[in-house]
Every structure is written in structure tokens, then in C-alpha cells.
Chain A
Amino acid sequence: MKPRVTIISLTSCSGCISTLISLDIFPQFLERTRIIFFQFILDAKNIEDTDIAIVEGCVSEETQITLLRDVRKHAKKVYALGTCASCGGILSLSSSKVADPISNYIETNGIIPGCPPPSKLFGNSLIRLVENKDIILSQKNMCGNCSLKRDMKINSHINIYKIIPNPEEITLDEENSECFLKNGILCLGPITRDGCEYKCIKMGLPCEGCMGPVSKDFTSNLINYLSLINLSQELKEYAGIFYRYSKPKFRR
């Protein structure tokens, strides 16, 4: 029997869904499953019993909590797709809106992280789901395999005063030789889960943490990390760092 699949979107940009549809393995995924609810491509109206539920987007409205619980009730397994569903995502930047990860409301069986999830990891994860296996994610941070790493130690001697290099300072990977932290640029690699194949770093930009944390809560990791290094006063006050992809628990 082909597994029945339900795909829903909460508050999102639909980028995870569009990435899903353009994956090389999407036709194979269609072939090997029976998608019973997927608003983007099907007319189906009701949530029904399903083997796998995949949720894109964060919870920002009351009505979504009801929908989410309904999906949980009908699904054998529920997975959070993308950074919005697993951490809160970009809407965390808003001070007036809630941007909750779905795990605040229902039990989840795993996540497919990234904003959007990197194609290879995404494809492999879907195949594992179809085969009724768990998703495997790296348990390491970015720095472990980073090509720029030169014995960087995280300590208060690291002075950070920028979150993005000035355009004219950007060099492509092959010309790059130094860890961003050495040049005063904030890289979130030390607390971010490996798995994106260094997409930003290869383009001369620091990691901004879209894959989420290796463990536990993103913001507490972030706060610990930022307290170890010497961040300029201006950046300490910049909301674009702390709330980039997740809100700290106390703000909820």
C-alpha cells in the first residue's frame, strides 16, 4: 500500500512547497505515495486519516492551532517542513505577530530544516519517509567541515561589528581564506546545523542560521554564543540578529 500523504501550509512564503515541487525526486514521490490533501495542487477539502503529514509555515493565528491538532489526530507521523514550521522562521522578526514552531502545539516526529530546505537533504528525507524510516540530520555544527576554518576559538577576543560584509569586500569561496569571525563579521556557523553544503559561505557570505540549531532552542544557543564573543553595541541592539529565524521563549 502506498503511504497516504497530507501536506498543509500555515503562515509561510510557500517557498518550501515550491522547492518540494521542483525537486528531482518529486515525480517519484508522487508515484510512490498517495497525496490526499495538498491545497496547492488538489481540490480536496477535508483532513482525513493519513500516514504522513508534512507541515509548512509557522503558527501565527488561533485557527491554525485547531487545524494543526486536527492534522495530528489524523496522522500517524507529522513532520515540520522548513525553518518556519520547525523554529518560527522569518516572521519572528515581527514584534506584533506570533510566529510559533508547530512543536509548541503538537508532538512532531521530525523536521526537514532550512529556508528553504537544501534540495539534497530534502529529497533524501522524503525518500526515507516514503520508506517509513526516520529522517537523519547531521548532529554537527557548520564549522566542523567549513573550508574557511582555521582553528577558530570562540572567545571574547573575537570582535564583531558587521552582519554582512560590504559588497566590495565579498570574495568568492576559492579566493576566500579566512573565517568571517576573524574579519569582524558575524557568522552563525558555530551554532547552526550542518547540512546545507555551505551555500552562503561558498558565495562569500556568512551563515545566517537558516538551518536552525544543532540542538535545543535556537535563541538560547544564539544568546550563549553571542555572549561569548565581543559584539559591537550597535549589533547588540539590532533585532535582525536575535529574531531572525526564531523568537526567544520568554517573548511568547
Chain B
Amino acid sequence: MLKIIDVCKRVEGHGDVKILLQNDDISLVNFQFDIYRGFENFLIGKKLLDIPKIVSRICGLCYASQAIASCKAIEHIYDIEISEQTILLRRLLMSGELIKSHSMNFFFQTLPDLLAIFDFSQKTLTPYELIHYDPQLASNLYELIKIGNEINILFGGRSVHLISLIPGGIIYSPSRKNISLARKKFQNALNNLEWIIEKFIELFSNHIPPKEYHFPHFIFVGLSNYEKYDRYSGNLTIKQNNKNLIEFEKNNYSTYFGKEKDLHGIDFYFENKKNVIVGPLSRYNIIENYGIDEIINYLDYFNKSWKNNILFANFIRLLEMYIEAYHGIQILDDPSLNIREQFSPLNSVKNLDGIGIIEAPRGTLIHHYHLNGSNSIDRIKLFIATEFNIPLINEMITRYAKELFEITGDINLVKKDVQRIIRAFDPCISCATH
């Protein structure tokens, strides 16, 4: 047996692709990582108030999601209600994070791939080449990265590892000046996104996406609030074959999936578990519609061949940025944003288990903490979006690599294409190797 290891390029973090060759056939392709940092272990015994700051450092792309899921889990332990203002501010921080994360991914990772896949470029363009290829597109995208970042600085105090997020509330009192500044930013984002979305439609909507990115039987997992798009609150939902919508309370997640002893990877307790997908494509499928007319129009440009194709996630990411900027403006106009309430004191532990769930940019994120009799954390489980997607990624790349290798016998081509499929999922390796 021959083992080939190829280092992943243009992904966030360090991952490898392992290809096993047996008698000139590919037997297995795996997307894997060698470094596990062990947050679930070293968080044991840490003070509850200290934990959100530590878990933020799991990931420099979805820091806000990590810290907010953590705050929610801790608030569950103390059984406290947080103010409307806090929820609105957390939503703003999540929007900033999503806009930054999605636009970085689009600029550096998926746009160069899309241009190559649909033959607009001979090779994968570097950022330098991309700037020359379409200066307007590059500058609009870069503007979005900055807008997401500025929203985080404005309401979080820093571009990454936000300071204002703490259990029980948020340390911030928005000034009128900052609110109007943020409104300008979101408005700017909307203008940019209209341009980018139309560009995307113009470039790609008349093409048929390649079949290797196609997958007919996804099982979508995500949060939805009565089938509305909502990444902060809502129930966990599982949807299969366009039906079987199972909605359940966060406390019951362990009926459907869990984590075994070594805490690497997620175990699903239902059939066809290799088809589970979380992230933008799942959110799109789980909700009824996005509730914004423009978005419905944009979606109409794409036919069926796109909708079960992983590459469609790239378009959904653009739409999600639009939706978040749109909601961002609504939040800034909400009078509750200005009503500062006292923090809810974290006095007495009411539940020994605390579960916090939100939708991070890359999909469902769950923090589950358990306290022992002396109220000290003794067990931690973190369910991370990329971990949910790994069985499906491996299934898809193995299936495709086998086919491609049988036809072409070209291992370099296999390596290149497998990497592209992986990137289409927008994996976050920092998160997955927590």
C-alpha cells in the first residue's frame, strides 16, 4: 500500500490530505490534521468567568461565535435571562464576524478556485493576479473584510478576541456617534454586496457546476427560529430529502449526536450519517426563506443543478453577508439598543449542565459544560462546525478521487481537485483542532 500525504493549501490552519493507493487503485482519501490542542482538557477546572476569553482563542476567524456560545452555556448554568440590548449587541458582533470571515474566504480561497473551475482563468490566481484580473471586484471584497472588522472593533473593542463579551451581558454602551458610524458601514456593505452578487450571477449563473461538487442526499443540520434565518436563537433542526424536519431543544442534542471519550470527531446516532452538512448551505435549506425580497430575486437566477452542489455555498455566503448587513441596520434602529440594563448577577448555580448553541459562520457550534458537586467544571464538550462536516468531506473526496484516478491515472490531478473540494466547504482547521 502506498500512502501519499499532500499539505492543504489556501485553507485556514494546517491540514493534510492522505491518499491510500492499493494495487493502483485509490482505496481511501482522508482530510486530516495532526495537531490537537486539547482545549476540552485544559478548560477543566477553569473559572466560569474566565472561560469565554480562553475559548475565543480556539479560532481567530470565529472568535465571537466561540465566546458567545460559551457565554450562553454559562448563562444556562446560572439560569439567567440577559437583556434585549445584550442580545442585539451580540448579534451585531456575530454579523461583523460573519462578514469578515465570509469575505476573506471568498477573496482568498473560493474566488480563485471558481474562476479556474469555470475556465475564466488558466490557473488559480494569486491575490496579486486577482487584483489585476478585476480591480473593482477585489476592492469591493477587500472593503467588506474591513467593514466586518470595523464592526467588531466598534462593539467588541478589538478586531479579534473581543473584550466586551462576558457572561450575563456585554460591556458596552453604544454612543450615538458609533451607531451612526456602524449604520454607514453596513450601508456600504450592502452597496458593495449588491455589486458583488450581481457580478457572481453574471459570471456563473449560466454555467452548470461540475458534478464532483454535487451531492444528492445531504442531511442538513442547523439552527432555525420557526424556519426563519436566525443564528443566535432558535432550535436545532435536522432536514433530510427535503422533508423529515426534526426540530428539537438544545438540551436534547445528545439523542442525535455526541462525542466519545477521546473527543475527536462527532458521532451521529442516525442513518446516513456520512451525509451530514452544516453551514451556509444547511441554513439555506432549513429555513423557509430569508424574508428579504432582493434575496429571493437573486436566488431565482440559479437552477436546480446548483442547489445540491457544494459550490452553491459560495453564493449563499454572499447572500448571508447581505442579510447580516441588512439586519445590522435594523438592529441599529431598534430602540432597545439604547436601553442599558444592569448585568444579571451570576449568583447561584441552577444547572450542573450548561449548553450554549449558535450558528457560527461555518455552521452549528455547541458548547456543553458540566459542573461537579463543588461547582467546578469537570467535563467539556465542544461541537465545532468543521467537525460536523468531516465525514461528508471524506466521503465526497474518496468517491471522486476513485473515479478520477480510474479514468485518468493522474495522481497530481487528483490531489489538485481534492483540495478544491475541501476548500469549497470552507473548513476551519483551527476550530476543528481545538
Contacts and interface: CB of A to CB of B under 8 A. Distances in A.
Q: State yes or no: do A and B come from one complex.
A: yes
A9 B14 contact: yes
A199 B345 contact: no
Nearest to B127: A41
A163 B169 CA distance: 18
A18 B104 contact: yes
B343 to A, nearest CB: 4
Contact of A93 (B13, B54, B126): B54
Contact of A14 (B142, B343, B345, B430): B430
B12 A203 contact: no
Interface string A3-34: 00000010111111111011010010010000
B173 interface: yes
Interface residues of B, number: 60
A94 B53 contact: no
B108 interface: yes
A15 B60 CA distance: 3
Contacts of A213: none
Contacts of B57: 13, 15, 89-90, 115
A89 B56 CA distance: 13
B344 interface: yes
B345 to A, nearest CB: 5
Interface in A141-169: 163-164, 166-168
A103 B345 CA distance: 43
Interface stretch (B159-167, B191-199, B398-406): B159-167
Nearest to B148: A22
Interface in B111-142: 124, 126-128, 131, 142
B163 A199 contact: yes
Contacts of B126: 41-43
Contacts of A195: none
A18 B50 contact: no
A183 to B, nearest CB: 15
Interface in B415-434: 430
A168 B347 CA distance: 10
A208 interface: yes
Contact of B61 (A18, A41, A97): A18
Contact of B164 (A18, A40, A203): A203
Contact of A16 (B47, B60, B104): B60
Nearest to B142: A27
A63 B35 CA distance: 11
Contact of A204 (B38, B160, B171): B171
A41 B10 contact: yes
Nearest to B138: A27
Contacts of B160: 15, 18-19, 116
Interface in B45-61: 45-47, 49-50, 53-54, 57-61
Interface string A91-121: 1011111000000000000000001101100
Given A19-B160, A24-B146, A163-B50, A13 B58 contact: yes
A116 B60 contact: yes
A170 to B, nearest CB: 6
A239 B344 contact: no
A203 B161 CA distance: 14
A22 B53 contact: no
Given A43-B124, A95-B42, A203-B163, A167 B169 contact: yes
A228 interface: no
A250 interface: no
A205 B158 CA distance: 14
B384 to A, nearest CB: 13
Which applies to chain A's interface (DSSP): helix, strand, loop or mixed? loop
Interface in B68-121: 100, 104, 108
Nearest to A175: B173
Nearest to B8: A39
B258 interface: no
A118 B163 CA distance: 13
Contacts of A11: 35, 37
B149 A22 contact: yes
B127 A203 contact: no
A96 B430 CA distance: 19
B181 interface: no
A178 interface: no
A41 B105 CA distance: 9
B161 A12 contact: no
Contacts of B7: 45
Contact of A40 (B41, B108, B128, B149): B108
A210 B104 CA distance: 25
Nearest to A97: B38
Contacts of A119: 153, 159
Contacts of B128: 30
A172 interface: yes
A167 B343 contact: yes
A230 interface: no
Interface in B326-364: 342-346
A22 B100 contact: yes
Contacts of A168: 168, 342-345
Interface of A: 9, 11-19, 21-22, 24, 27, 30, 39-43, 45, 60-61, 63, 89-91, 93-97, 115-116, 118-119, 163-164, 166-168, 170, 172, 199-200, 202-205, 208, 238-240
6 contacts: A13-B59, A21-B108, A60-B37, A89-B57, A166-B345, A238-B47
Which 6 pairs from chain A and chain B are nearest by CB? A15-B60, A22-B149, A167-B343, A167-B168, A90-B57, A14-B60
Given A22-B104, A22-B149, A172-B172, 19 more contacts: A12-B430, A13-B58, A15-B63, A21-B108, A21-B145, A41-B126, A43-B126, A60-B35, A119-B159, A163-B49, A166-B49, A166-B345, A167-B166, A167-B168, A168-B345, A170-B171, A200-B163, A203-B171, A205-B171
